[in-house]
Chain A
Amino acid sequence: MGAVMVVINSGNDIEWRRRTTKKQIGIWLGWLVGISIVLFAWSVISEKTVWFFVQDAPRQAADIGSRMIPPKWSYITELLVPVWDTINIATLGTIIAMTIAVPVAFCAARNTTPHNSVRAIALFIIVSSRSVNSLIWALMLVFILGPGVLAGTIAIGLRSIGFCAKLLYESIEEIDESQVEAVKATGASNIQQMTYGILPQVLPTIAGVGIYRWDINIRESTILGLVGAGGIGLQLNGSINTLAWTQVSTILLVILVTVFISEWVSAKVRGAII
């Protein structure tokens, strides 16, 4: 964009500039508008803030911090089952999501969709699943299914469909068409073209996306307990509500370790597949 320099002839002098005057003014206006929006946003937020509480925050932080130390290590034995539940929510949720996301992605990709109207529906599924946070999905599912791990699993599944399907359909759209054509030239049916022409090309992406999402889901499933959908969030919420700060710090440490391990596993497996 800014690659071509502008030459301005003013009398005898030739002046080199990076941008035309018009463009320069445009950029300044852009900054002006941007900064005004941010300042306005700040004024709205600060109007709704009780500054006394904010000034009090460092003292509060020191207070809570001192109550959190040392973590109550004996509590860990009670956390093993919640951690197992959390991992199950993430894993089964990812499996549900991938089972639905793969066909949705094939319907959403321009080159494999059966019809444009199907594509529109698939895209709507993707957007609505992505827009609604897993916590909100869980909130609704707890109403329907009752509190428990099942609601959390389905919430994670519903939330992940959009993410997985979006990444998949983008990679389906980028496949090498000549391979599909070669398979077609052997007289393969539509389904055979799919399994031998397209699927091998996107299989690494499918596996990679699934594992990537699993890693994210471990993190997301740690909070689902806040609305009663199972996992370690249930203990976290309970401990915070009863002001058992030494338990809270233990739970946070357990979450930290779980997330680190899942990240390590995900990186290893992705490295092995791709």
Chain B
Amino acid sequence: MSSLSDNRERHYPTVWDKPPFISNSLLRWGIILGAIIYLVAAIASMEINPQRLMEGIPRGQRFIASFFPPNFADNRGVVWDGILESIWMAIISTVAGIALSVPIGLGAARNLAPFWVYITCRSIIAGSRTFPEIILAIFAVKLFGFGPFAGFIALSLGTIGFFAKLLAEDIENSSESQAEAVKATGANWFQWINYAIQPQVMPRMIGLSVYRLDINFRESAVVGIVGGGGIGATLNTAFSRYEFDTAAAILLIIILIVMVLEYASSYLRKWVQ
């Protein structure tokens, strides 16, 4: 016993070290080793071709140089048309998406819906969340033909996965006592939803719908690549025609609009709360 305590005294550290993040050293080194093995394997499978990369450097320089100066001239008026189409597409798909999301979100809240409704609505949400808007857009284009209608369908379906999920979570987190108080007045189901649940989730939902509008606008810039209309179609055309200066102008306009939307949404959210 005494030798042990002696030992401990002798080895008492005089310099402080940060305690390790994972205290079990076997697990710690195991994770580090595993991570290193994975990284090596992953990077090895990237097929990085140094020769191709070296070729890419001057090509990249020329590519970037051809972006400048951005060409806002927009001779055929296509950029302006594309931007407007994207904006309208974003607005209407947000509205339609939210209109579809509200019943699904109500159904996906565990405290409102019976089990089979809950499962159905949750699977709709999961399906919509899994597939990126682009994949939805590919199928929408197959079904509805080229043009903004396909993009509108894809973005609306994408909105469901986002909005209904957050709505359902917000409803599940809402205060029970208010809901009970309204129920005690003899309110029917719709009154109950409208006066007990709606006021609790409304401020956050307004903020989220502006945020979703912002996302839908950004996504509308890519659904065009697969034929879903909007500024993405214009951007894709500009790339395929090697009009990189026009492409640069389009990208700058997208960035600008997203910035404006972001400021507007943060302002609106502050105003609502």
Please report A residues at the B interface, Cβ cutoff 8 Å: 37-38, 40-42, 44-46, 48-50, 53-54, 57, 60-61, 64, 84-85, 88, 91-92, 127-128, 130-133, 135-136, 139-140, 143-146, 148-150, 153, 219-220, 222-223, 226-227, 236, 240, 252, 255-256, 259-260
Q: How far is the CB of A193 from chain B (nearest CB, A)?
A: 15
B41-67 CB mask vs A (1 if < 8 Å, else 0) is 011011111001101100110010000
Question: B144 within 8 Å of A by Cβ?
Answer: yes
Nearest residue (CB) in B for A2 is B199
Q: How far is the CB of A187 from chain B (nearest CB, A)?
A: 15
Nearest residue (CB) in A for B225 is A135
Report which of B38, B148, B221, B226 forms a contact with A45, defined as CB distance below 8 A.
B148
> Can you list 8 residue pairs at the A/B interface with Cβ under 8 Å?
A45-B88, A48-B149, A49-B149, A127-B255, A139-B239, A143-B63, A252-B131, A255-B135
Nearest residue (CB) in B for A221 is B132
Question: B201 within 8 Å of A by Cβ?
Answer: no
Give the CA-CA distance A145 to B52 in the complex, in Å. 7
In the complex, are the beta carbons of B135 and A223 less than 8 A apart? Answer: yes
> With A37-B91, A60-B143, A219-B130 in contact, do A149 and B218 touch (Cβ < 8 Å)?
no
Cβ–Cβ < 8 Å partners of A223 in chain B: 132, 134-135
Cβ–Cβ < 8 Å partners of A140 in chain B: 63
In the complex, are the beta carbons of A50 and B258 less than 8 A apart? Answer: no
Cβ–Cβ < 8 Å partners of B59 in chain A: 143-144
Cβ–Cβ < 8 Å partners of A130 in chain B: 218, 258
In the complex, are the beta carbons of A91 and B60 less than 8 A apart? Answer: no
Question: B142 within 8 Å of A by Cβ?
Answer: yes
Given A149-B46, A256-B131, 7 more pairs with CB closer than 8 A:
A57-B143, A64-B142, A127-B259, A130-B218, A139-B225, A145-B53, A260-B130
In the complex, are the beta carbons of A144 and B63 less than 8 A apart? Answer: yes
Give the CA-CA distance A219 to B89 in the complex, in Å. 23
> With A145-B52, A226-B225, A236-B135 in contact, do A54 and B219 touch (Cβ < 8 Å)?
no
In the complex, are the beta carbons of B142 and A44 less than 8 A apart? Answer: no
Report which of A44, A226, A255 forms a contact with B131, defined as CB distance below 8 A.
A255
Give the CA-CA distance A228 to B219 in the complex, in Å. 19
Cβ–Cβ < 8 Å partners of B55 in chain A: 146
Cβ–Cβ < 8 Å partners of B46 in chain A: 88, 92, 148-150, 153
Cβ–Cβ < 8 Å partners of B60 in chain A: 144-145
In the complex, are the beta carbons of A57 and B239 less than 8 A apart? Answer: no
Q: How far is the CB of A229 from chain B (nearest CB, A)?
A: 12
Question: B102 within 8 Å of A by Cβ?
Answer: no
Cβ–Cβ < 8 Å partners of A38 in chain B: 91-92, 95
> With A150-B48, A153-B46, A226-B225 in contact, do A54 and B144 touch (Cβ < 8 Å)?
yes
Q: How far is the CB of A255 from chain B (nearest CB, A)?
A: 7
Give the CA-CA distance A139 to B237 in the complex, in Å. 12
In the complex, are the beta carbons of A60 and B142 less than 8 A apart? Answer: yes
In the complex, are the beta carbons of B52 and A135 less than 8 A apart? Answer: no
Cβ–Cβ < 8 Å partners of A88 in chain B: 42, 45-46
In the complex, are the beta carbons of B131 and A131 less than 8 A apart? Answer: no
Cβ–Cβ < 8 Å partners of A146 in chain B: 49, 52, 55-56
Cβ–Cβ < 8 Å partners of B134 in chain A: 135, 223, 226
Give the CA-CA distance A249 to B21 in the complex, in Å. 43
Give the CA-CA distance A199 to B135 in the complex, in Å. 39
In the complex, are the beta carbons of B222 and A136 less than 8 A apart? Answer: yes
Give the CA-CA distance A60 to B85 in the complex, in Å. 26
